[in-house]
Each structure stands twice: as C-alpha cells, then as structure tokens.
C-alpha cells in the first residue's frame, strides 16, 4: 500500500487545480454579471455643504488643496499673474535657462580643476512646459523706502536638464526630471529710486525650508530609486538651501547703483573734437570715411556724433559738444572713431589710448570661516602691488567697504586681480600664522570695457564663502 500514498498526492493536486480553475471561472462570471447588470438600490445624490459646516476630519483632508488666499485673508489672489506667466512661459523658459547657464558656467569652470574633471557641459536645458503657479501674494507696507512681497509658490515641473561630465577620457551623464518645489520666499525691493525699474536691489530669502522633490538619472538609471538615497538627497538639498538663503540670510541681486540713481546733474562737460591723423585704411580704394562718437560712462543718453569726413585718413572736424555730468568722480568720457559705410555695419577704427585709474572697492564677505579662528581681512594684489583691508574680529560675515586705487599707464585689458581673505590672531601677545579663508582671481578685461562691475564671487578653497567686489575703470590722465 506504500505506492498508493504518492498516487493520492498526485490526484489531490490535480483536483485542486481543477477546483481552483472551476471556482475562478464561476466567480469571474458572477462578478461580471453583478457589476454590469445589477443596479444598487441605496444610491443617493451627493450632498453639497459649505466649508463652515464640515467637521474637523473633513477639513483636515481638504485644507492642503484650498488656495492660500482663501485660508489667509492677508494673501491676495493673483490669478491674473498665473495667466500672464502661463502665456509667457515658453519665452520665460528660454530666458531663465540662458541666464542660469551664464551664471553656472563660470562657477563650474572655477571648481572643476579641484576635482580633476575635464569639462562639465549642459547637453539639454529646459524647464519644461508646466509653469509655476502662485497660490497668493502677501504685500507688506513699511515706513522705509522698500516693497516687501511674500508669494506662495507651487511648481510641479517636467524639466529636461542633462549634464555631461568628462573626466579621465570617460563620459557620464546626469539628468534631472520631474521637479517639484513648494516655497514661500520673501522678496524685498529696496531702496526705491526715481530711475527705472524704480528699485536698486532685489533681496530674496526663504521664510521656511522649501519642499524640493526631483528625479535624478545617472547613466540612464533612476538614481533616486536606490533605497535611502531619496531621503538623504532631499534633506541634503533642504539643508544646503536653508544655510544659504533661509531668513535672515538673503540672496542679493544688484539692479542699479542706488547712489548714482539718486544723483542729479552737477554740470556740463564741453568737449571739442579737433582732428585725427594717420587713421587706418578701411575702404577698398585705400581711404576711409571717419566720424567720432562721444559718450559719458554710466549714462543712458545717446552718444554725440560728429559729421562724416569722406575719403580721408587725416580728418578735421572742429566741432563742439555738451554732455551732462552726474558724477565727475566716476564718469569718464568715451571717444570712439568709426568708418561710415552706406551699406552694412559701421566699422570701429579705434579708441584713443591712455592710462587711468583702477578702483577696487571691497564691500563684504559672507560665510567665511577658519579652522582655528575667524578674524577676516582681505588682501588685494595687482601687478605686484599689495593692499589690505582692516581686520574684523570674530565675524563670519565681515563688512569692510574700503576703496583702493591703482594708477596705471595703460588699460589692464590682459591683467588679473588677486583677492584673498585671511584670518589672523594673537596669542600671548604674539601674532600667529595667518590662515587663508579663500581667494578669487578676476580678469580685468570686462572692467575696462564696461567701466564698472559690482558682483559677488564664490571664494575658491572655501565651502560657502562669497565676497562682493566693485571694480571701476576711470580712463584718462590720473588725478593729481
């Protein structure tokens, strides 16, 4: 009888499968019939109740979906702004991406040598087709010359940002997808000035840690699906953003020079263009048709122009011009000679060469911190000449506002300015070795072209340190 036991087991398995298949078929047919052909007898019309009559549990489920302007009367409804942003978004997307790449490129170029990376490039950069929405905006009224806005921003975007990293002969890609951010920034426009756009600086800070969520693909694989990585990256980004911009820390975006925007005309500059000699041959037959343009720096008024002298390399004009001066300390006269063409762009023939004064204003630094002490001062080196600011004791955000001038005989087009922040201290009356808190190298070609630059720079060899430097180029003979 021992051989019957395996046989019974086989038979029971067969009957089990048959029973399962039979029961499954009957259940499927019965469910189909009752679902499609039976009518429920207890269907009631939905009840519509005002929010005030809802119980606590229902309100808690509904509150996250209620717009902020409904829950909080201090917030204004801005549906018009959402419509405007939605209509303009295809154009705003391109403009924002272009600006972001221009800001990111010098920062990337500054840091990749520290990691032995050959290049980091944007293969694709678009924020997608879904614009951000504003749940409401709160406006503060103060006694100061400022406007304070607090918008509530929600943005579930579908971006496609692909970054290509090349190092050691290898190529790797990282792609950001499905981006979400919920934030409540505070935007302060101050000071208000009587020059368009009517405010000098934009200050942006976050009133609470933002909610940030996104997908990240490395080499085509979903990096965020790795257990533990999603929460780690989220907290890391929140903490990093909070350390930089959580109130009272701010992101400062200069728009206008507030001092210059407030200034009124102080005088008239009389300029007389006499003659030019031995100009370059610009035309096919060995002649030129020169004229001169005159303009004061930091002035939005159109340039003054002489008449055109045809077919000559030694023109004489003897023409006088009047230019309105607002700031004789910083404004300089620009003189440029052009060759007139009847068709096409007028070619530039040259600019009178000469020396001038390079002005360096060290405004402030932020988030500088030494390993052993933080008593920062800044040292400036230009063509071997050294200057330094005063020392600010025990301060990670020192403010100096100190001005330095370097007199040069020719424009520093190909020169670089080296600025380094140090910390120093004394023990037992003896000065200890100074500690570097970060440095920057600034190419001066743009300063000569634009006459003035006022920017914040990320300090090299510093975790989060930044420094604000204003540079001015005053062409012409140095002042006595």
pLDDT at 14: 45
SS3 232: helix
The pTM of the full predicted model, rounded to 2 decimals, is 0.46
149-176 residue pLDDT tens:
988 888 888 888 888 888 877 888 888 8
Cα distances (Å, whole numbers) of residue 224 to 155, 213, 233: 20, 10, 8
93/101 Cα distance (integer angstroms): 12
Average pLDDT over residues 392-411: 88
Confidence of residue 430 (pLDDT cuts 50, 70, 90): low
Domain boundary among 328, 350, 372: 350
Cα distances (Å, whole numbers) of residue 426 to 375, 423, 434: 10, 11, 10
Range of the domain at 297: 263-350
173/219 Cα distance (integer angstroms): 5
Overall domain count for the chain: 3
306-354 residue pLDDT tens:
999 988 889 999 999 998 887 777 777 888 899 888 666 777 777 776 6
Least confident of 166-175, 203-212, 215-224: 215-224
Average pLDDT over residues 265-270: 84
The answer to whether residues 316 and 246 belong to one domain is: no
pLDDT at 407: 82
Q: Is 112 among the domain residues?
A: yes
Confidence of residue 441 (pLDDT cuts 50, 70, 90): very high
Q: Check residues 342 and 10 and name the one with the higher pLDDT.
A: 342
* pLDDT above 90 for 230: no
The answer to whether residues 316 and 416 belong to one domain is: no
Q: Is 108 among the domain residues?
A: yes
* Chain-centroid distance, C-alpha 131: 18
Q: What one-character-per-residue DSSP string does 50-99 give? A: -GGGS-HHHHHHHGGGS-HHHH-TTSBP-HHHHHHHHHHHHHHHHHHHHH
Domain boundary among 318, 350, 382: 350
Q: Is 121 among the domain residues?
A: yes
Q: Is 52 among the domain residues?
A: no
Q: Is 58 among the domain residues?
A: no
Q: Is 407 among the domain residues?
A: yes
Average pLDDT over residues 245-269: 76
pLDDT at 400: 94
Average pLDDT over residues 439-448: 91
The answer to whether residues 255 and 175 belong to one domain is: yes
The answer to whether residues 224 and 273 belong to one domain is: no
Find the angle CA(287)-CA(291)-CA(293) to the nearest 5 degrees: 150
In this structure, what CATH number is given to the domain that contains residue 439? 2.60.40.150
The answer to whether residues 145 and 187 belong to one domain is: yes
The answer to whether residues 242 and 268 belong to one domain is: no
pLDDT at 460: 92
Highest mean pLDDT among 181-190, 280-289, 377-386 belongs to 377-386
Q: Is 60 among the domain residues?
A: no
Preceding peptide of 248 cis, ω within 30°:
yes
Confidence of residue 380 (pLDDT cuts 50, 70, 90): very high
Structure-token pair, residue 415 = 């020169």
Least confident of 10-19, 207-216, 274-283, 329-338: 10-19
* pLDDT above 90 for 211: no
The answer to whether residues 404 and 372 belong to one domain is: yes
Q: Is 368 among the domain residues?
A: yes
202 and 186 in contact (C-beta within 8 Å)? no
Highest mean pLDDT among 14-28, 203-217, 235-249, 257-271 belongs to 203-217
227 Cβ contact list (under 8 Å, min separation 6): none
Confidence of residue 42 (pLDDT cuts 50, 70, 90): low
The answer to whether residues 401 and 453 belong to one domain is: yes
Structure-token pair, residue 287 = 């002649």
The answer to whether residues 367 and 341 belong to one domain is: no
Domain boundary among 350, 370, 404: 350
332 and 288 in contact (C-beta within 8 Å)? no
**Radius of gyration from C-alpha coordinates of the chain:** 34
Structure-token pair, residue 144 = 């100061």
The answer to whether residues 279 and 157 belong to one domain is: no
321 and 291 in contact (C-beta within 8 Å)? no
- The overall average pLDDT reported for the chain is 79
Q: What one-character-per-residue DSSP string does 139-158 give? A: EE--SSS-EEEEEEEEEE--
The answer to whether residues 341 and 435 belong to one domain is: no
pLDDT at 222: 67
Cα distances (Å, whole numbers) of residue 461 to 16, 287, 290, 368, 458: 72, 55, 50, 11, 9
Percent of the chain with pLDDT over 90: 20
Q: Report the run of H or E that residue 449 belongs to, with start and end.
A: helix 445-450
93-146 residue pLDDT tens:
998 888 888 877 777 777 777 777 888 888 888 888 899 888 888 888 787 888
Q: Check residues 388 and 248 and name the one with the higher pLDDT.
A: 388
The answer to whether residues 320 and 375 belong to one domain is: no
52-72 residue pLDDT tens:
666 666 655 655 556 666 666
pLDDT at 58: 65
* pLDDT above 60 for 21: no
* pLDDT above 80 for 264: no
Confidence of residue 382 (pLDDT cuts 50, 70, 90): very high
Q: Please give the sequence-ordered ranges of beta strands (E in DSSP) within 250-382, or none if there are none.
A: 251-254, 267-275, 290-296, 304-305, 316-325, 333-339, 347-350, 356-366, 376-382
**How buried is residue 46: exposed, middle or buried, by Cβ count under 10 Å (0-12/13-18/19+)?**
exposed
358/405 Cα distance (integer angstroms): 6
């Amino acid at each position: 009888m021992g051989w019957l036991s395996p046989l019974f087991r086989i038979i029971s398995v067969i009957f089990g499968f048959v029973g399962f298949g039979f029961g499954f078929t009957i259940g499927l047919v019965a469910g189909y019939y009752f679902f499609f052909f039976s009518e429920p007898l207890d269907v009631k019309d939905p009840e519509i109740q005002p929010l005030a009559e809802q119980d606590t549990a229902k309100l808690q489920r509904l509150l996250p979906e209620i717009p902020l302007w409904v829950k909080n009367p201090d917030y204004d409804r801005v549906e018009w702004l959402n419509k405007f942003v939605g209509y303009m978004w295809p154009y705003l997307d391109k403009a924002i991406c272009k600006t972001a790449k221009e800001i990111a490129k010098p920062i990337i170029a500054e840091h990749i040598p520290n990691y032995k990376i050959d290049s980091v490039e944007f293969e694709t950069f678009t924020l997608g087709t879904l614009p951000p929405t504003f749940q409401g905006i709160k406006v503060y009224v103060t006694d100061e010359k400022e406007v304070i806005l607090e918008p509530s921003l929600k943005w579930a975007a579908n971006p496609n940002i692909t970054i290509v990293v090349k190092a050691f002969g290898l190529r790797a890609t990282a792609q950001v997808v499905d981006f979400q951010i919920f934030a409540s920034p505070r935007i302060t426009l101050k000071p208000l000035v009587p020059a368009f756009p009517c405010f000098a600086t934009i200050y942006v800070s976050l009133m609470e840690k933002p909610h940030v969520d996104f997908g990240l693909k490395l080499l085509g694989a979903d990096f965020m699906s790795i257990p533990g990585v999603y929460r780690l990256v989220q907290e890391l980004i929140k903490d990093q953003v909070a350390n930089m911009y959580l109130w009272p820390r701010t992101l400062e975006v200069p728009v206008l020079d507030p001092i210059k925007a407030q200034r009124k005309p102080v005088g008239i500059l009389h300029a007389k263009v006499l003659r030019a000699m031995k100009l370059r041959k610009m035309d096919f037959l060995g002649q030129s048709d020169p004229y001169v343009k005159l303009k004061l720096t930091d002035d939005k008024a159109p340039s003054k122009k002489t008449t055109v002298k045809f077919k000559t390399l030694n023109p004489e004009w003897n023409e006088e011009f009047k230019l309105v001066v607002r700031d004789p300390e910083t404004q300089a006269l620009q003189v440029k000679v052009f060759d007139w063409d009847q068709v096409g762009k007028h070619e530039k023939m040259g600019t009178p060469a000469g020396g001038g004064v390079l002005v360096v204003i060290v405004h402030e630094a932020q988030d500088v911190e030494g390993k052993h002490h933080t008593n920062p001062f800044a040292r400036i080196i230009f063509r071997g000449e050294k200057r330094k600011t005063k020392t600010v004791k025990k301060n990670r955000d020192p403010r100096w506002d100190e001005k330095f001038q370097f007199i040069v005989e020719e424009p520093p087009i190909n020169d670089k300015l080296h600025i380094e922040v140090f910390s120093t201290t004394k023990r037992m009356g003896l000065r200890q070795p100074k500690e570097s808190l970060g440095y920057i190298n600034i190419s001066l070609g743009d300063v000569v072209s634009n006459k003035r630059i006022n920017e914040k720079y990320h300090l090299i060899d510093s975790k989060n340190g930044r420094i604000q430097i204003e540079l001015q180029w005053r062409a012409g003979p140095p002042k006595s």
